[in-house]
Amino acid sequence: MLYRHPYYCVTRSIKDGQQLYEEEELYLILSEDKITTNSNVFMLEHVFDLSYRKTAELYGFLYLHTNKGVFSFNVKHAPDELIRTFRSLK
């Protein structure tokens, strides 16, 4: 593992007429040859780039550009170090 950055999955549900939000903290893990998330493994040879877009809300968006499309992740902190480390490998 070279670097680990948290991302968040938010689940919305309704219980007893109230809308509830559950936030789960997960990790994007960068290794020498792959990026691993809770539900996917992306080989670095299939990852073209990482980018980040800050929003005015609590979360920003980390985008993983791959040969299978673009995957987005909710992040609370800018993933600058993750992006720098990734680009040094490419």
pLDDT tens-digit series, residues 53-70: 999 888 999 999 999 999
The reported pTM is 0.88
The 10s digit of each residue's pLDDT in 5-20 is 999 999 999 999 999 9
DSSP string, 28-42: EEE-SSEEE-SS-EE
Extents of the domains making up the chain: 3-89
> What is the pairing mode between strands 69-75 and 47-53?
unpaired
Q: Which CATH architecture fits 3-89?
A: Roll (2.30)
Q: What number of other Cβ atoms are within 10 A of residue 38's Cβ? A: 12
The token duo for 85 is 């480390």
Please count the CA atoms within 13 angstroms of the CA of 22 that sit on its side-chain side. 7
Which residue matches tokens 């600058």?
A: 80
The token duo for 69 is 């499309």
Helix residue ranges per DSSP H, 1-90: 80-89
